Chain A
Protein backbone atom coordinates (compact mmCIF):
# COMPACT_ATOMS: atom_id res chain seq x y z
CA UNK A 1 0.00 0.00 0.00
CA UNK A 2 1.39 3.38 -1.01
CA UNK A 3 1.12 6.23 1.43
CA UNK A 4 2.93 9.52 0.83
CA UNK A 5 1.88 10.84 4.23
CA UNK A 6 4.89 11.86 6.35
CA UNK A 7 4.98 11.79 10.13
CA UNK A 8 6.39 15.28 10.55
CA UNK A 9 7.56 18.43 8.80
CA UNK A 10 11.12 17.53 9.88
CA UNK A 11 10.92 14.16 8.16
CA UNK A 12 9.45 15.74 5.03
CA UNK A 13 12.45 18.05 4.46
CA UNK A 14 15.25 15.99 6.08
CA UNK A 15 17.09 15.17 2.83
CA UNK A 16 17.24 18.64 1.23
CA UNK A 17 20.98 19.04 0.58
CA UNK A 18 23.20 22.10 0.63
CA UNK A 19 23.12 23.84 -2.76
CA UNK A 20 19.64 22.60 -3.65
CA UNK A 21 17.20 24.58 -5.78
CA UNK A 22 13.97 24.82 -3.79
CA UNK A 23 10.71 26.16 -5.16
CA UNK A 24 8.47 27.62 -2.49
CA UNK A 25 4.80 28.18 -3.28
CA UNK A 26 2.84 31.28 -2.39
CA UNK A 27 2.01 34.77 -3.55
CA UNK A 28 2.86 36.91 -0.55
CA UNK A 29 1.56 34.89 2.37
CA UNK A 30 -1.29 33.20 0.46
CA UNK A 31 -0.18 29.64 -0.21
CA UNK A 32 3.15 29.96 1.56
CA UNK A 33 4.04 26.62 3.25
CA UNK A 34 5.26 28.26 6.43
CA UNK A 35 5.54 25.09 8.54
CA UNK A 36 7.75 23.45 5.89
CA UNK A 37 9.87 26.60 5.70
CA UNK A 38 10.30 26.57 9.48
CA UNK A 39 11.37 22.92 9.26
CA UNK A 40 13.85 23.78 6.48
CA UNK A 41 15.35 26.53 8.66
CA UNK A 42 15.76 24.02 11.53
CA UNK A 43 17.19 21.42 9.13
CA UNK A 44 20.03 23.77 8.23
CA UNK A 45 20.63 23.28 4.48
CA UNK A 46 22.81 26.09 3.11
CA UNK A 47 23.64 27.77 -0.21
CA UNK A 48 20.08 27.31 -1.43
CA UNK A 49 18.58 28.77 -4.59
CA UNK A 50 14.99 29.66 -3.82
CA UNK A 51 12.26 30.23 -6.40
CA UNK A 52 9.21 32.19 -5.23
CA UNK A 53 7.16 35.05 -6.64
CA UNK A 54 8.35 37.38 -3.90
CA UNK A 55 11.29 37.55 -1.53
CA UNK A 56 9.63 37.35 1.86
CA UNK A 57 7.21 39.52 3.81
CA UNK A 58 7.72 40.68 7.38
CA UNK A 59 9.76 38.36 9.58
CA UNK A 60 8.12 34.96 9.11
CA UNK A 61 8.14 32.23 6.49
CA UNK A 62 10.41 32.96 3.53
CA UNK A 63 11.68 36.15 5.21
CA UNK A 64 12.87 34.04 8.16
CA UNK A 65 14.63 31.61 5.80
CA UNK A 66 16.43 34.52 4.12
CA UNK A 67 17.30 36.01 7.51
CA UNK A 68 18.91 32.71 8.50
CA UNK A 69 21.52 33.31 5.78
CA UNK A 70 20.91 29.98 4.05
CA UNK A 71 19.84 31.38 0.68
CA UNK A 72 22.50 32.18 -1.92
CA UNK A 73 20.17 33.22 -4.72
CA UNK A 74 16.53 34.26 -5.20
CA UNK A 75 14.69 33.77 -8.47
CA UNK A 76 11.53 35.88 -8.29
CA UNK A 77 9.41 38.56 -9.97
CA UNK A 78 8.66 41.01 -7.19
CA UNK A 79 11.16 41.22 -4.33
CA UNK A 80 10.60 44.83 -3.32
CA UNK A 81 7.53 45.36 -1.14
CA UNK A 82 6.67 47.57 1.80
CA UNK A 83 7.55 44.76 4.21
CA UNK A 84 10.47 43.08 2.38
CA UNK A 85 13.10 44.64 4.66
CA UNK A 86 14.89 41.32 5.25
CA UNK A 87 15.56 40.79 1.54
CA UNK A 88 16.27 44.49 0.95
CA UNK A 89 19.02 44.53 3.59
CA UNK A 90 20.65 41.31 2.29
CA UNK A 91 20.52 42.58 -1.30
CA UNK A 92 22.00 45.97 -0.45
CA UNK A 93 24.76 44.26 1.54
CA UNK A 94 25.57 42.07 -1.48
CA UNK A 95 24.74 38.92 0.48
CA UNK A 96 22.17 37.51 -1.92
CA UNK A 97 22.00 37.13 -5.68
CA UNK A 98 18.79 38.13 -7.50
CA UNK A 99 17.48 36.74 -10.79
CA UNK A 100 14.52 38.95 -11.63
CA UNK A 101 12.02 37.54 -14.11
CA UNK A 102 8.60 38.83 -15.20
CA UNK A 103 5.90 37.01 -13.32
CA UNK A 104 4.33 35.30 -16.32
CA UNK A 105 7.74 34.19 -17.60
CA UNK A 106 8.49 32.88 -14.11
CA UNK A 107 5.27 30.86 -14.13
CA UNK A 108 5.80 29.58 -17.67
CA UNK A 109 9.47 28.69 -17.02
CA UNK A 110 8.31 26.61 -14.06
CA UNK A 111 5.51 25.04 -16.10
CA UNK A 112 7.90 24.33 -18.98
CA UNK A 113 10.27 22.45 -16.68
CA UNK A 114 7.42 20.29 -15.44
CA UNK A 115 6.16 19.69 -18.96
CA UNK A 116 9.53 18.70 -20.42
CA UNK A 117 9.92 21.78 -22.61
CA UNK A 118 13.50 22.78 -23.39
CA UNK A 119 12.79 26.52 -23.67
CA UNK A 120 10.16 28.75 -25.23
CA UNK A 121 9.79 32.11 -26.97
CA UNK A 122 7.81 34.62 -24.92
CA UNK A 123 6.74 38.11 -26.01
CA UNK A 124 6.98 39.32 -22.42
CA UNK A 125 10.00 41.47 -21.71
CA UNK A 126 11.08 41.90 -25.34
CA UNK A 127 13.03 45.14 -25.75
CA UNK A 128 13.51 45.61 -21.99
CA UNK A 129 16.39 45.29 -19.53
CA UNK A 130 15.13 41.84 -18.54
CA UNK A 131 15.69 40.51 -22.05
CA UNK A 132 19.30 41.67 -22.34
CA UNK A 133 21.62 38.88 -23.43
CA UNK A 134 18.74 36.57 -24.38
CA UNK A 135 18.11 35.23 -27.86
CA UNK A 136 15.32 37.14 -29.64
CA UNK A 137 13.32 35.99 -32.64
CA UNK A 138 10.53 37.45 -34.76
CA UNK A 139 7.80 34.89 -35.41
CA UNK A 140 4.88 35.83 -37.68
CA UNK A 141 5.72 39.49 -37.22
CA UNK A 142 5.83 39.44 -33.42
CA UNK A 143 9.00 39.74 -31.33
CA UNK A 144 9.87 37.10 -28.76
CA UNK A 145 12.61 36.30 -26.25
CA UNK A 146 13.94 32.82 -25.51
CA UNK A 147 13.16 31.81 -21.93
CA UNK A 148 14.55 28.69 -20.30
CA UNK A 149 12.83 26.27 -17.93
CA UNK A 150 13.45 26.37 -14.18
CA UNK A 151 13.91 22.92 -12.70
CA UNK A 152 14.01 22.32 -8.96
CA UNK A 153 15.31 19.63 -6.67
CA UNK A 154 12.46 20.20 -4.22
CA UNK A 155 9.16 22.08 -4.22
CA UNK A 156 7.52 23.03 -0.95
CA UNK A 157 3.88 23.93 -1.52
CA UNK A 158 0.67 24.37 0.47
CA UNK A 159 -2.68 22.80 -0.33
CA UNK A 160 -6.01 22.52 1.45
CA UNK A 161 -6.40 18.74 1.37
CA UNK A 162 -4.61 15.62 0.17
CA UNK A 163 -5.15 11.87 0.15
CA UNK A 164 -2.47 9.23 0.68
CA UNK A 165 -1.71 9.06 -3.06
CA UNK A 166 -0.83 12.77 -3.04
CA UNK A 167 -3.83 14.08 -4.95
CA UNK A 168 -4.31 17.74 -4.00
CA UNK A 169 -6.96 20.42 -3.87
CA UNK A 170 -6.15 24.00 -2.94
CA UNK A 171 -7.90 26.91 -1.28
CA UNK A 172 -8.89 30.09 -3.17
CA UNK A 173 -5.95 32.23 -4.39
CA UNK A 174 -3.55 30.19 -2.25
CA UNK A 175 -3.40 27.86 -5.28
CA UNK A 176 -1.17 30.29 -7.26
CA UNK A 177 2.19 28.58 -8.03
CA UNK A 178 1.45 25.27 -6.25
CA UNK A 179 0.26 23.17 -9.21
CA UNK A 180 3.11 24.18 -11.55
CA UNK A 181 5.86 23.96 -8.91
CA UNK A 182 4.63 20.45 -8.08
CA UNK A 183 5.31 19.50 -11.70
CA UNK A 184 8.76 21.13 -11.91
CA UNK A 185 10.52 19.53 -8.92
CA UNK A 186 12.16 16.13 -8.46
CA UNK A 187 10.54 15.92 -5.02
CA UNK A 188 7.38 17.85 -4.16
CA UNK A 189 6.32 18.15 -0.55
CA UNK A 190 2.78 19.39 0.11
CA UNK A 191 1.85 20.93 3.45
CA UNK A 192 -1.89 20.43 3.88
CA UNK A 193 -4.62 21.41 6.31
CA UNK A 194 -6.33 18.09 6.02
CA UNK A 195 -5.62 14.49 4.97
CA UNK A 196 -8.67 12.71 3.62
CA UNK A 197 -9.46 9.10 2.76
CA UNK A 198 -8.67 7.88 -0.74
CA UNK A 199 -11.80 8.52 -2.78
CA UNK A 200 -12.96 11.47 -0.73
CA UNK A 201 -11.64 13.98 -3.28
CA UNK A 202 -13.88 14.33 -6.34
CA UNK A 203 -11.79 13.00 -9.27
CA UNK A 204 -13.30 15.74 -11.48
CA UNK A 205 -12.04 18.41 -9.08
CA UNK A 206 -8.54 17.19 -8.18
CA UNK A 207 -6.22 20.04 -9.19
CA UNK A 208 -2.84 18.33 -8.80
CA UNK A 209 -2.84 14.58 -9.52
CA UNK A 210 -0.67 12.55 -7.14
CA UNK A 211 1.96 11.75 -9.80
CA UNK A 212 3.35 15.26 -9.18
CA UNK A 213 3.49 14.89 -5.38
CA UNK A 214 5.98 12.72 -3.50
CA UNK A 215 5.28 13.67 0.12
CA UNK A 216 2.31 15.00 2.07
CA UNK A 217 2.45 16.36 5.58
CA UNK A 218 -0.40 17.75 7.64
CA UNK A 219 -0.09 20.96 9.61
CA UNK A 220 -0.75 20.57 13.29
CA UNK A 221 -2.99 22.95 15.23
CA UNK A 222 0.15 24.65 16.58
CA UNK A 223 1.32 25.25 13.03
CA UNK A 224 -1.85 27.24 12.31
CA UNK A 225 -5.24 26.62 10.80
CA UNK A 226 -4.49 28.00 7.34
Chain B
Protein backbone atom coordinates (compact mmCIF):
# COMPACT_ATOMS: atom_id res chain seq x y z
CA UNK B 1 0.00 0.00 0.00
CA UNK B 2 1.33 3.40 -1.02
CA UNK B 3 0.18 6.60 0.62
CA UNK B 4 -0.42 9.49 -1.74
CA UNK B 5 2.11 12.24 -1.24
CA UNK B 6 0.91 15.84 -0.97
CA UNK B 7 1.13 16.46 -4.69
CA UNK B 8 -0.64 13.23 -5.59
CA UNK B 9 -3.39 14.12 -3.13
CA UNK B 10 -3.69 17.56 -4.70
CA UNK B 11 -3.91 15.94 -8.14
CA UNK B 12 -6.66 13.60 -6.90
CA UNK B 13 -8.72 16.56 -5.65
CA UNK B 14 -8.10 18.47 -8.88
CA UNK B 15 -9.57 15.58 -10.92
CA UNK B 16 -12.96 16.19 -9.28
CA UNK B 17 -13.11 19.91 -10.13
CA UNK B 18 -15.02 20.33 -13.40
CA UNK B 19 -14.74 23.06 -15.99
CA UNK B 20 -16.89 26.07 -15.14
CA UNK B 21 -16.65 25.56 -11.37
CA UNK B 22 -16.23 28.56 -9.05
CA UNK B 23 -13.75 27.34 -6.46
CA UNK B 24 -12.07 28.60 -3.31
CA UNK B 25 -8.90 26.80 -2.24
CA UNK B 26 -8.11 27.32 1.44
CA UNK B 27 -4.67 28.27 2.66
CA UNK B 28 -2.13 25.53 3.34
CA UNK B 29 -2.46 22.10 1.70
CA UNK B 30 -5.40 23.03 -0.62
CA UNK B 31 -3.25 25.67 -2.30
CA UNK B 32 -1.33 22.80 -3.93
CA UNK B 33 -4.44 21.89 -5.96
CA UNK B 34 -3.93 24.95 -8.17
CA UNK B 35 -0.93 23.44 -9.93
CA UNK B 36 -2.94 20.33 -10.88
CA UNK B 37 -5.93 22.04 -12.49
CA UNK B 38 -5.89 21.55 -16.25
CA UNK B 39 -4.77 24.76 -17.90
CA UNK B 40 -7.10 24.17 -20.87
CA UNK B 41 -10.21 24.26 -18.66
CA UNK B 42 -11.93 27.45 -17.49
CA UNK B 43 -12.02 27.02 -13.71
CA UNK B 44 -12.63 30.17 -11.68
CA UNK B 45 -10.55 30.48 -8.53
CA UNK B 46 -11.90 32.89 -5.91
CA UNK B 47 -9.78 34.44 -3.18
CA UNK B 48 -11.49 35.79 -0.06
CA UNK B 49 -9.60 39.09 -0.23
CA UNK B 50 -11.51 40.14 -3.32
CA UNK B 51 -10.59 38.49 -6.58
CA UNK B 52 -12.13 36.03 -8.97
CA UNK B 53 -10.04 34.56 -11.76
CA UNK B 54 -6.91 34.21 -9.67
CA UNK B 55 -3.84 33.18 -11.63
CA UNK B 56 -0.51 31.65 -10.61
CA UNK B 57 2.33 33.34 -8.76
CA UNK B 58 4.03 36.09 -10.78
CA UNK B 59 7.50 35.78 -12.25
CA UNK B 60 10.27 36.96 -9.90
CA UNK B 61 10.42 40.74 -9.96
CA UNK B 62 6.78 41.03 -11.16
CA UNK B 63 5.22 40.90 -7.67
CA UNK B 64 2.66 43.60 -6.82
CA UNK B 65 1.95 44.20 -3.13
CA UNK B 66 -1.64 45.15 -4.01
CA UNK B 67 -2.28 41.80 -5.71
CA UNK B 68 -2.16 38.99 -3.16
CA UNK B 69 -4.09 35.88 -2.15
CA UNK B 70 -5.70 34.88 1.16
CA UNK B 71 -2.29 33.69 2.40
CA UNK B 72 -0.93 37.17 1.54
CA UNK B 73 1.34 35.74 -1.15
CA UNK B 74 1.71 37.56 -4.49
CA UNK B 75 -0.54 36.21 -7.26
CA UNK B 76 -1.73 37.29 -10.71
CA UNK B 77 -5.14 37.95 -12.24
CA UNK B 78 -6.22 35.98 -15.31
CA UNK B 79 -7.65 37.78 -18.31
CA UNK B 80 -11.34 38.21 -17.49
CA UNK B 81 -10.73 38.28 -13.74
CA UNK B 82 -12.41 40.77 -11.40
CA UNK B 83 -11.80 42.62 -8.13
CA UNK B 84 -14.46 43.30 -5.50
CA UNK B 85 -14.77 44.36 -1.87
CA UNK B 86 -14.90 42.11 1.17
CA UNK B 87 -18.66 42.09 1.72
CA UNK B 88 -19.19 40.94 -1.87
CA UNK B 89 -16.45 38.36 -1.51
CA UNK B 90 -18.10 36.76 1.51
CA UNK B 91 -21.55 37.06 -0.07
CA UNK B 92 -20.15 34.74 -2.75
CA UNK B 93 -19.46 32.19 -0.01
CA UNK B 94 -22.35 32.66 2.39
CA UNK B 95 -24.81 33.14 -0.44
CA UNK B 96 -24.01 29.70 -1.86
CA UNK B 97 -22.53 30.99 -5.12
CA UNK B 98 -19.26 29.06 -4.91
CA UNK B 99 -19.48 25.52 -6.26
CA UNK B 100 -16.59 24.00 -4.32
CA UNK B 101 -14.27 24.96 -1.53
CA UNK B 102 -11.33 22.83 -0.49
CA UNK B 103 -10.17 23.13 3.12
CA UNK B 104 -7.49 21.60 5.29
CA UNK B 105 -8.57 20.04 8.60
CA UNK B 106 -7.46 18.79 11.98
CA UNK B 107 -10.51 16.54 12.25
CA UNK B 108 -13.78 15.70 10.51
CA UNK B 109 -16.59 13.91 12.34
CA UNK B 110 -18.89 11.20 10.99
CA UNK B 111 -21.58 13.89 10.60
CA UNK B 112 -19.28 16.16 8.62
CA UNK B 113 -18.46 18.53 11.47
CA UNK B 114 -15.19 20.30 10.66
CA UNK B 115 -12.41 21.37 13.02
CA UNK B 116 -9.64 23.32 11.32
CA UNK B 117 -9.21 26.72 12.95
CA UNK B 118 -8.04 26.41 16.53
CA UNK B 119 -6.28 23.78 18.62
CA UNK B 120 -7.80 25.22 21.77
CA UNK B 121 -4.41 24.80 23.43
CA UNK B 122 -3.79 27.06 26.44
CA UNK B 123 -1.89 30.16 25.31
CA UNK B 124 -2.79 29.68 21.64
CA UNK B 125 -3.89 32.96 20.07
CA UNK B 126 -7.12 32.19 18.21
CA UNK B 127 -7.38 33.27 14.56
CA UNK B 128 -10.27 32.25 12.34
CA UNK B 129 -10.05 34.32 9.14
CA UNK B 130 -12.50 33.07 6.53
CA UNK B 131 -12.53 29.43 7.65
CA UNK B 132 -16.02 29.46 9.20
CA UNK B 133 -17.54 31.32 6.23
CA UNK B 134 -16.00 28.88 3.76
CA UNK B 135 -17.10 25.88 5.79
CA UNK B 136 -20.79 26.72 5.56
CA UNK B 137 -20.85 28.61 2.28
CA UNK B 138 -19.90 26.58 -0.76
CA UNK B 139 -22.30 24.12 -2.44
CA UNK B 140 -19.71 21.37 -1.87
CA UNK B 141 -17.11 21.43 0.90
CA UNK B 142 -14.13 19.17 0.28
CA UNK B 143 -11.62 18.48 3.02
CA UNK B 144 -8.06 17.54 2.16
CA UNK B 145 -5.92 16.08 4.95
CA UNK B 146 -3.70 13.21 6.00
CA UNK B 147 -5.75 10.24 7.16
CA UNK B 148 -3.82 9.84 10.42
CA UNK B 149 -2.10 12.15 12.86
CA UNK B 150 1.65 11.80 13.42
CA UNK B 151 0.76 9.61 16.40
CA UNK B 152 -1.32 7.33 14.18
CA UNK B 153 -4.78 8.42 15.37
CA UNK B 154 -7.57 8.78 12.82
CA UNK B 155 -8.44 12.36 11.89
CA UNK B 156 -11.89 11.10 10.93
CA UNK B 157 -13.61 10.80 14.30
CA UNK B 158 -16.93 10.16 16.01
CA UNK B 159 -16.88 13.63 17.59
CA UNK B 160 -14.30 16.34 17.01
CA UNK B 161 -12.16 17.03 20.08
CA UNK B 162 -10.91 20.31 18.65
CA UNK B 163 -13.17 23.41 18.55
CA UNK B 164 -15.54 23.27 15.57
CA UNK B 165 -15.30 25.44 12.48
CA UNK B 166 -18.70 24.37 11.18
CA UNK B 167 -21.45 21.86 11.95
CA UNK B 168 -22.29 19.07 9.46
CA UNK B 169 -20.71 21.01 6.62
CA UNK B 170 -18.23 18.60 4.96
CA UNK B 171 -19.37 16.74 1.84
CA UNK B 172 -16.24 14.78 0.95
CA UNK B 173 -12.91 13.93 2.56
CA UNK B 174 -9.73 13.39 0.51
CA UNK B 175 -6.89 11.74 2.41
CA UNK B 176 -3.61 10.13 1.50
CA UNK B 177 -5.43 6.77 1.70
CA UNK B 178 -8.99 7.26 0.46
CA UNK B 179 -11.78 9.48 -0.81
CA UNK B 180 -14.80 9.35 1.47
CA UNK B 181 -18.24 10.89 1.00
CA UNK B 182 -20.06 12.22 4.06
CA UNK B 183 -23.75 11.44 3.77
CA UNK B 184 -26.68 11.53 6.22
CA UNK B 185 -26.49 7.71 6.36
CA UNK B 186 -22.78 7.75 7.22
CA UNK B 187 -19.35 7.65 5.60
CA UNK B 188 -19.02 6.03 2.17
CA UNK B 189 -15.67 5.17 0.61
CA UNK B 190 -15.49 6.37 -2.99
CA UNK B 191 -12.00 5.05 -3.71
CA UNK B 192 -8.84 3.92 -1.96
CA UNK B 193 -5.14 3.69 -2.80
CA UNK B 194 -4.01 0.47 -4.45
CA UNK B 195 -3.30 -2.39 -2.08
CA UNK B 196 -5.64 -1.17 0.65
CA UNK B 197 -8.81 -3.09 1.56
CA UNK B 198 -11.91 -1.66 3.19
CA UNK B 199 -11.07 -3.78 6.24
CA UNK B 200 -7.58 -2.22 6.40
CA UNK B 201 -9.01 1.26 6.05
CA UNK B 202 -11.71 0.48 8.63
CA UNK B 203 -9.08 -0.68 11.11
CA UNK B 204 -7.11 2.56 10.71
CA UNK B 205 -10.16 4.82 10.81
CA UNK B 206 -12.10 3.56 13.78
CA UNK B 207 -15.50 4.90 12.75
CA UNK B 208 -17.91 2.90 10.55
CA UNK B 209 -17.19 3.04 6.79
CA UNK B 210 -19.11 1.52 3.88
CA UNK B 211 -18.25 1.23 0.21
CA UNK B 212 -20.11 3.63 -2.02
CA UNK B 213 -22.31 1.56 -4.35
CA UNK B 214 -20.83 1.40 -7.85
CA UNK B 215 -23.69 3.57 -9.13
CA UNK B 216 -23.16 6.16 -6.36
CA UNK B 217 -23.90 9.55 -7.77
CA UNK B 218 -21.04 11.89 -8.58
CA UNK B 219 -20.13 15.12 -6.83
- Do A and B share a complex? yes
**What is A's interface to B at a CB cutoff of 8 Å?**
27-31, 53, 57, 77-81, 87-88, 91-92, 98, 100-105, 107-108, 110-111, 122-130, 143, 170-180, 207, 226
Report A-chain residues with C-beta under 8 Å of the C-beta of B83. 170, 172-173, 175
Most B Cβ at <10 Å: residue of A129, A176, A207:
A176
Q: Known contacts A129-B118, A178-B85; can you find 14 more A-B pairs with CB under 8 A?
A: A27-B49, A27-B68, A78-B128, A80-B126, A81-B72, A102-B129, A102-B131, A102-B133, A103-B86, A104-B132, A124-B94, A126-B166, A173-B51, A175-B85
| A and B contact pairs by CB, cutoff 8 A, 29 listed | A27-B68, A29-B72, A30-B66, A30-B72, A31-B66, A53-B86, A77-B130, A80-B125, A80-B127, A88-B125, A98-B126, A100-B126, A100-B127, A102-B132, A102-B133, A104-B94, A111-B87, A124-B133, A124-B137, A125-B132, A126-B166, A130-B132, A171-B66, A172-B66, A173-B51, A175-B83, A175-B85, A177-B85, A177-B86
User: Would you call B175 an interface residue if the criterion is a C-beta within 8 Å of the partner chain's C-beta atoms?
Assistant: no
Report A-chain residues with C-beta under 8 Å of the C-beta of B84. 175
Q: A104 and B130: CB pair below 8 A?
A: yes
Q: Which of B85, B133, B165 is within 8 Å of A176, CB to CB?
A: B85
A102 to B50, CA, bound (A): 16
User: Would you call B167 an interface residue if the criterion is a C-beta within 8 Å of the partner chain's C-beta atoms?
Assistant: yes
Which 3 residue pairs of A and B lie closest in terms of their CB atoms, listed nearest first?
A104-B90, A104-B133, A127-B167
Report B-chain residues with C-beta under 8 Å of the C-beta of A53. 86
Report B-chain residues with C-beta under 8 Å of the C-beta of A78. 127-129
Q: How large is the interface on B (under 10, 10 to 19, 20 to 34, 35 or more residues)?
A: 35 or more
Contact with A along B42-60 (1 / 0, CB 8 A): 0000011111000000000
Q: B166 and A127: CB pair below 8 A?
A: yes
A127 to B130, CA, bound (A): 16
Q: A92 and B132: CB pair below 8 A?
A: no
Report A-chain residues with C-beta under 8 Å of the C-beta of B65. 29-30, 226
A110 to B89, CA, bound (A): 14
Shortest Cβ distance from B78 into chain A, in angstroms?
13
Q: Given A27-B72, A30-B68, A172-B64, are A124 and B132 also a contact pair (CB < 8 Å)?
A: yes
A53 to B123, CA, bound (A): 21
Shortest Cβ distance from B170 into chain A, in angstroms?
13
Q: B125 and A130: CB pair below 8 A?
A: no
Shortest Cβ distance from B198 into chain A, in angstroms?
31
Most B Cβ at <10 Å: residue of A78, A123, A124:
A124
Shortest Cβ distance from A70 into chain B, in angstroms?
20
Shortest Cβ distance from A43 into chain B, in angstroms?
26
User: Would you call B77 an interface residue if the criterion is a C-beta within 8 Å of the partner chain's C-beta atoms?
Assistant: yes
A176 to B125, CA, bound (A): 24
Q: Given A92-B123, A102-B130, are A30 and B49 also a contact pair (CB < 8 Å)?
A: yes
User: Would you call B67 an interface residue if the criterion is a C-beta within 8 Å of the partner chain's C-beta atoms?
Assistant: yes
Shortest Cβ distance from A92 into chain B, in angstroms?
7
User: Would you call B93 an interface residue if the criterion is a C-beta within 8 Å of the partner chain's C-beta atoms?
Assistant: yes
A163 to B51, CA, bound (A): 25
